[in-house]
Amino acid sequence: MAYKKPESALVVLYDQHYRVLLLQRQDDPTFWQSVTGALEEGELPLETAYREVCEEIGIDAKAHGFVVNDHDKQNQYEIRSRWLHRYPPGTVHNTEHVFSLQINSDLPLALTEHLQYEWVSKDEALARLWSPSNKEAVSLFVPSVP
């Protein structure tokens, strides 16, 4: 197995009603999150954001005319011990690039890496998300209901 690069993209998705998309992880059903994934070799963080949205929920954002917003924000966090084996030996921190994307929730989603999804209010998302950096991204970059 090839090791993951300890650099990732986090993409907070919200819809036309300002509801946040939450995804339930297969390997930890208590863990709800936004779209996220490691950068591949030679890939820019924005490219990763578009790729991961397509891979994880089956939406080709560019084909639909949706624009991923780059917030020029990076977080560094300690990788959960249960996932350290996925990274090069001695790696304990990941650098996360933060993005957001508004999509139409009427589009069908095709999950490939998660058990289920839910569209929830911003407040509910903040209460259910596990990752502090994911909570912060929702808080900062999902608009409040007008």
Give the residue ranges of the annotated binding site for Mg(2+).
Answer: 52, 56, 113
Q: Which two tokens stand for residue 141?
A: 């970059």
Neighbours of 61 (CB within 10 A): 20
Annotated binding residues for substrate, written as ranges, equal 4, 25, 36, 131
Residues of each annotated binding site: 4, 25, 36, 52, 56, 113, 131
- 3-state per-residue secondary structure call for 39-68: CCCCCCHHHHHHHHHHHHHCCCCCCCCCCC
